[in-house]
Structure formats: C-alpha cells, structure tokens
Chains A and B, each alone.
Chain A
C-alpha cells in the first residue's frame, strides 16, 4: 500500500493499567521509522491549508519536507522559529481542531500526525548537545513580561530573538504558569518545560520568580524606576469558578486549580518527601469536561482513587477536552456521567460524603450555540463520593487590574485591548493569552504572545524614530 494511502500512524502509548498508577508520561513518542513513514504521508499540497489552522502559523509543509528528508536540524529550526514552545505544543495542542482538522488526508485516511511529528522533532532537538553559545541582548530597550505562562514565554522568546533585554516576572516559585501548576507530568513532564525555559535563558531572557507585579512591584514602578520601555501582561485566567451550590466549602472539595497545583507544582504525589499533602479518597467526582477536568480525574486515579468519574451537565458531544485525553481517560478506567448536573455536595462532620445530582436532557440551543441542558424533574440521585473537584472554568485574575490605574477590563474580567488586539488601555502595556480572551488553549496564548512581541517591536521602533 502506498504510504499516502496509509492510515495515521498511532502514537505509541504506555499500557493503560500500568500508567494509571504513576505520573510518568503516557505517550512514548514516535521512533525514527514512525516519523519517516508519517512525514511521507504528507501530500505536499500546493495550498497547505493546515497552516491556516495553526495559531502561530508553523510552515507545516516545509517542516514535513525536512522531516521526510531526514534533515532534523532544518526541521527543528523551522519549528522553533515559528513556535518557541514546540516541545510543549506537540504534546498539548488540540491538533484535531486546528492544523490536522484542515489536512486533506483527514477525511479518507486520517490526518498527517502533525502534532506527533512536532513532538518527535522537538524531542530530537532536546537530545542534541547544546553547541551554540548563549546569546546576549543587543538592543538597549528593556521589556518586562508579567507572568511566565505560554503567552509570556513566547512573547519573551520573540523579543529576545529581536535583541531586546527581556525580564519575565513570575509570582510563584517556579516559572511556567499553567504549564507548571496545571498540566500534569503524565501529559507534559516538567523536564520538557524546564528545557524550553532553559532555551529562553540561553537566548538572554532573565527569569525572576517570587515577584507579583501589582503587589511586590507596581506597573508604574516597572516603567519609572526600572526603566522598561514596554510591559506585556500574560497573567492568564487563573481564578477558579465555583458553582455556588450548597456544600462547596466542605473538606474534600477542591477547585481543579487547587487539586492540580498541589500535585504538579507542589508534588503532593511524593508526600511526605514533598511536604504538601493532598487527600484523595476512594471515590472522586470531577465536575466539568475540559482538558483540566481530564487532568484532574486522571490524576485522582493515579493517586489511588478506585472510582474516578467525570460528571458533566451536557452530553459527550459538547465535551471540550482534546479527544486524545478523553480516549486515554476511558482506557484508564475513568467513568463518564453525561447529562448529569450536580446540585449539592453532601457532607458529614465537615467532610464530603456524596454528590447530589439531577439528570438532564438537551433542549434548544443556548447563547453558546450548544443544546441547552434542562433538568429532568424527579430524577435526583446521589453519588457516594469522598472528593469533589470543580473544573468548571476559570477567569482572569483581577490582582493586577486592582493595583494599576487605567488598566480596563470587560465586565467578566478580560483585559480590554486595542484594534490590533495587543495593546491595553495603558500606553505601552500589552496583553495576550487567557488574560485577554478568558480561558483558552496553550497555542492560542502562544500566538497572542507572538503577535504582541511584533507590536511591541513595531511601537518601540516607531517611538525611537
């Protein structure tokens, strides 16, 4: 069978029974033969529509050519120039909704595995010795980046490449933002994130942890005392939403943020070697259906839950998680309860004992365009559970806005930006990622960071002229 008529090469994964009990990476990555075969599947379209699906416009066709020609240095260079976080995006991007969705192979044989190849090439790059000398900034202008999540990292990388002196300020004790505290080790190992950050450091980016801009140093001081020419805000959407149902403050109820932060940032899975504990009981219910919900429920399973379940008020069709995470969760034994809406957390002596739910049915489309779930009268029932993890979304953190006069937001907390979609209501203060859009994906944040870097460069050069 000619390669071009073959089906997508599956990603080798670790055995579900085994991996469901540890935090080691689930996907093992392509081997050389997989990569060569898969790259050959690319049709070399005249009009590579896959690129239109990529928020950072990786020149995918050129990249595929390089891989197929076994020119890994070239492939890595193409990738890195377009996406400074390729090793991460190759692991966490929802390719099925982006580049791979547009692939002409998708309908008949399944898309070319663009994401898997992005990962393969990045992993190849990580395995090479560091030969290039670290770079130093050559421009006199200094730029401050607030927050070291995906948008901040990409913005920093782009600006460093242009020669600016870039400092990234992080409030936590380790950089990476949601890549550090949110996405678990089994999906994105910390060593990958550390490597990406090290590449930025080698490009001349300086990282300062334990500084909360707006609290430790004000925005005003960054301009006036520290002499930054521009500031990029990439503070994300880190504030967890709660449902407002009775029992949410019982012991054993967590926001997904708290649950995952304890595990990922604080390494509660290694308690008591790591001193931050996390209580995971026999039965854990995670409310929500996004990637964060999948991360939480699969983490619960890895921490010993015998019954780990997702409870979601809409149906499988409206689920927002990446398909791969959903499939992996099913393989690992996660239960899914669709059209089920939690209405109360039940407890005894201050501790969670159950989750009271009502069955739903789908009605007419709501304002989001999705079928509105409607409660079925008299269908209330109780799941006996020990933990409830709320993963129903997050919103932008108001901390910086509260302490920065003139910085305006939408009523829901997202920062207001200009018609270029990069500059905020404060002169020379830019923003991107979830802080502007509300909770979205790593790659959209990366795209926003890149766009902001270009605008910062443009505006600073215009100021100088």
Chain B
C-alpha cells in the first residue's frame, strides 16, 4: 500500500501528498491520473497526478476535500497508507510543438498543470501558466509553478493577488495582443464552469484548446462506461480515451449533467463520514 511520506496543507481544504508509489511513479506521464480508495467499502475516485519522481518512486497528488472519500484521505497523515492506488491511467495529452502554450488552471486544477507544463518547457516550448482563484488564500502551488514556466499569471476574483478578474479575462487580453503573447494552444484544467468559459474564449478566437475532463468513473480501464462523454458527436470514455479532449468538440451540457448524477448521494455519504468522524473524535 502506498505510504504517505509528506503532506502539506495548501488551503483549508486542499492538501498535497507525496506518496511512495514506485511502480506508478516510474510509469507515469504528465496528464495521467490514478484511482484511489481509502477504506474498505469506500469509493474509487480518480485523482490527477501532480508530479512524479522516477528515481525516488514518489508520486505527488493534490486533493481537495469535497466529499466523503477526499475527507477521509484528509484525515490521513505522514506514515499512513492509502488502501488502494492504481495507475497511471488515461493518456498523456498530445500537445503540438512550436508555439506559445498556455495552461489555464482553476482551483486545484492548477496542481494538475505542474508536471505537464514542466515537461512542455523542458521540450523547448514557450509556456505560460494562468491560475485563478476567488482570493489569494485559495491559490495553490504558485511558487512551484513559477519555477517551471516562462510566465506565471495569477488571477483573483477580488484582486487580492495578481490580475483582478477571471482567468478567461486574462486569457482574452493575451488573445487581444497583450503580454506575454498570443496563445497558440491552450490547456484547460479546472472546474467545469471554468473549462466551459475557457472553451468559449478560445473558440471565439479560433485557438485550439484541450480540456481535462473528470467525469464519474469506477474502474478507470474502460470497463464500466460510466465516464462516457460525447466528443464531436461520438461517445468516448474519459478513462481510456481521455482525460484530455478537444474542448471545442466536447458536449459540456451533457458532461455537466452527468457530473451531477449522484449529488444527493454524495451529500449523504459526506454526512455519514462527518458523523463517523465526530464519533471518533468524541
């Protein structure tokens, strides 16, 4: 079982974990994900790989505590083991060479950009990372991202750090000729509303854009079909065909609707987890 060797609180509800998972770390490529489970009877949840180190065999993931499983994970600390972890799953995205590549990350989606943008820069691409959050305290991994990209653009809704406004507004400035230059290719990772907005912005300007989708899934190997998304009128499985798809082809309405399938049940599970947690604490 993968052991947590380092844990860092990034925000009130977001933590970074470095786990000892040598097989996955050795095979991982930027943009892929793992599926983990933290207790018997627990759910299997997909988590994007933030970074990996083939030599040390350590895998970095960033998890926001939003549901029962992520909260249970949040209760684990250094030295604890994660019950099940499998990967790397999905395919690394194909990003064309020779242009200005802009990665747009919202919320904890910023974490997913880390190794991807690092690899692209190492490949010789000009890179910019735009990350956004409601306010300064919710920004994550800005220092780390700063080190691995040519430009880091920070956006906050309230202006408490960097550009005041949405990531899409900053992206629009660049499309309109602003620094650090016109985006030739956009990678979008974040909450659905953000990815939709980025898609809209890039579509209007005819900029190619790939989005990392995170639909509900169980096995992650193409077996259940629960993660199906419609892309260009065709049904694709995000777990094996994705998670990256041409954003301009994705049926976001359907993806958003499917993402909400178990909202009620997720609340129930989270309540049960909370109750169990309080009982333990008492």
Is the pair A171, B218 in contact by a Cβ cutoff of 8 Å? Answer: no
Interface status of A72 (Cβ within 8 A of chain B): no
Hey, which chain B residues are within 8 Å of A265, CB to CB? 218
Most buried by A among B219, B224, B228, B268: B224
Hey, which chain B residues are within 8 Å of A251, CB to CB? 257-258, 260-261
Is the pair A171, B221 in contact by a Cβ cutoff of 8 Å? Answer: yes
Is the pair A397, B225 in contact by a Cβ cutoff of 8 Å? Answer: no
- How far is B221's CA from A171's CA once the two chains are assembled, in angstroms? 8
The answer to whether residues A238 and B269 also contact, given A216-B23, A249-B228 and a CB cut-off of 8 A, is no
CB distance from A368 to the nearest CB of B (A): 24
CB distance from A230 to the nearest CB of B (A): 21
CB distance from B194 to the nearest CB of A (A): 21
Interface segment among A160-168, A270-278, A318-326: the answer is A270-278
Number of A-B contacts defined by CB within 8 Å = 121
Is the pair B87, A266 in contact by a Cβ cutoff of 8 Å? Answer: no
- How far is B23's CA from A96's CA once the two chains are assembled, in angstroms? 46
Hey, which chain A residues are within 8 Å of B228, CB to CB? 242, 249
Size category, B interface = 35 or more
Interface status of B122 (Cβ within 8 A of chain A): no
- How far is B226's CA from A104's CA once the two chains are assembled, in angstroms? 47
Interface status of B272 (Cβ within 8 A of chain A): yes
Is the pair B84, A277 in contact by a Cβ cutoff of 8 Å? Answer: no
Hey, which chain B residues are within 8 Å of A181, CB to CB? 219, 223
CB distance from B59 to the nearest CB of A (A): 12
* Nearest CB in chain A to that of B37: its residue: A173
- How far is B48's CA from A93's CA once the two chains are assembled, in angstroms? 41
CB distance from B230 to the nearest CB of A (A): 6
- How far is B24's CA from A209's CA once the two chains are assembled, in angstroms? 13
Which A residues from 407 to 449 make CB contacts under 8 A with B? none
Partner of B262, one of A173, A217, A277: A277
CB distance from A247 to the nearest CB of B (A): 11
Is the pair A238, B222 in contact by a Cβ cutoff of 8 Å? Answer: yes
Partner of A240, one of B225, B254, B266: B225
The answer to whether residues A217 and B23 also contact, given A210-B85, A273-B41, A277-B262 and a CB cut-off of 8 A, is yes
Interface segment among A199-207, A255-263, A330-338, A455-463: the answer is A255-263
CB distance from B73 to the nearest CB of A (A): 12
Is the pair B223, A239 in contact by a Cβ cutoff of 8 Å? Answer: yes
Partner of A257, one of B88, B224, B230: B224
Partner of B254, one of A173, A249, A266, A279: A249
Interface status of A211 (Cβ within 8 A of chain B): yes
Is the pair A275, B69 in contact by a Cβ cutoff of 8 Å? Answer: yes
* Nearest CB in chain A to that of B268: its residue: A272
Please, how many residues of chain A have a CB less than 8 angstroms from a CB on the other chain? 41
Hey, which chain B residues are within 8 Å of A266, CB to CB? 43-44, 218
Is the pair B223, A261 in contact by a Cβ cutoff of 8 Å? Answer: yes
Is the pair A211, B86 in contact by a Cβ cutoff of 8 Å? Answer: yes
- How far is B241's CA from A398's CA once the two chains are assembled, in angstroms? 11
* Nearest CB in chain A to that of B32: its residue: A215
The answer to whether residues A257 and B225 also contact, given A173-B37, A215-B87 and a CB cut-off of 8 A, is yes
In the A-B complex, the 7 residue pairs with the closest CB atoms: A277-B265, A350-B257, A258-B224, A255-B225, A274-B41, A173-B84, A210-B86
**B interface residue numbers (CB < 8 A to A):** 23-24, 27, 37, 41-44, 68-69, 83-89, 218-219, 221-226, 228, 230, 235, 240, 254, 257-258, 260-262, 265-266, 268-269, 272-273
- How far is B90's CA from A399's CA once the two chains are assembled, in angstroms? 10
* Nearest CB in chain B to that of A174: its residue: B84
Contact with B along A234-251 (1 / 0, CB 8 A): 000011101000001101
Hey, which chain A residues are within 8 Å of B43, CB to CB? 266, 275-276
Is the pair B218, A261 in contact by a Cβ cutoff of 8 Å? Answer: yes
Is the pair A216, B24 in contact by a Cβ cutoff of 8 Å? Answer: yes
Is the pair A216, B224 in contact by a Cβ cutoff of 8 Å? Answer: no
Provide a sorted-by-A list of 22 A–B residue pairs whose CB atoms are within 8 angstroms. Answer: A172-B219, A173-B84, A173-B86, A209-B84, A210-B84, A212-B221, A240-B223, A242-B235, A249-B254, A251-B260, A255-B226, A258-B224, A262-B218, A267-B41, A272-B272, A275-B42, A275-B43, A275-B273, A276-B43, A276-B44, A279-B261, A279-B262
Contact with B along A278-293 (1 / 0, CB 8 A): 0100000000000000
The answer to whether residues A399 and B254 also contact, given A173-B84, A216-B88, A279-B261 and a CB cut-off of 8 A, is no
User: Which secondary structure characterizes the binding site on chain B?
Assistant: mixed
Hey, which chain A residues are within 8 Å of B84, CB to CB? 173, 209-210
- How far is B68's CA from A390's CA once the two chains are assembled, in angstroms? 29
Hey, which chain B residues are within 8 Å of A255, CB to CB? 224-226
Is the pair B221, A275 in contact by a Cβ cutoff of 8 Å? Answer: no
- How far is B45's CA from A276's CA once the two chains are assembled, in angstroms? 10
Partner of B225, one of A242, A276, A279: A242
Is the pair A399, B218 in contact by a Cβ cutoff of 8 Å? Answer: no
- How far is B83's CA from A271's CA once the two chains are assembled, in angstroms? 19
Hey, which chain A residues are within 8 Å of B224, CB to CB? 240, 255, 257-258, 261-262
For the complex with contacts A210-B86, A275-B68, A350-B258, 14 further pairs of A-B residues with Cβ separation under 8 Å are A172-B219, A173-B83, A181-B219, A210-B85, A212-B89, A217-B23, A238-B223, A242-B228, A251-B257, A251-B261, A258-B218, A262-B224, A265-B218, A272-B272
CB distance from A145 to the nearest CB of B (A): 17
- How far is B27's CA from A270's CA once the two chains are assembled, in angstroms? 35
Partner of B221, one of A238, A248, A271, A350: A238
Hey, which chain A residues are within 8 Å of B269, CB to CB? 271-272, 275, 277
Hey, which chain A residues are within 8 Å of B23, CB to CB? 211, 216-217
- How far is B24's CA from A275's CA once the two chains are assembled, in angstroms? 25
- How far is B24's CA from A211's CA once the two chains are assembled, in angstroms? 9
CB distance from B128 to the nearest CB of A (A): 31
- How far is B2's CA from A173's CA once the two chains are assembled, in angstroms? 13
Which A residues from 145 to 171 make CB contacts under 8 A with B? 171
* Nearest CB in chain B to that of A210: its residue: B86
Contact with B along A197-231 (1 / 0, CB 8 A): 00000000000011110011110000000000000
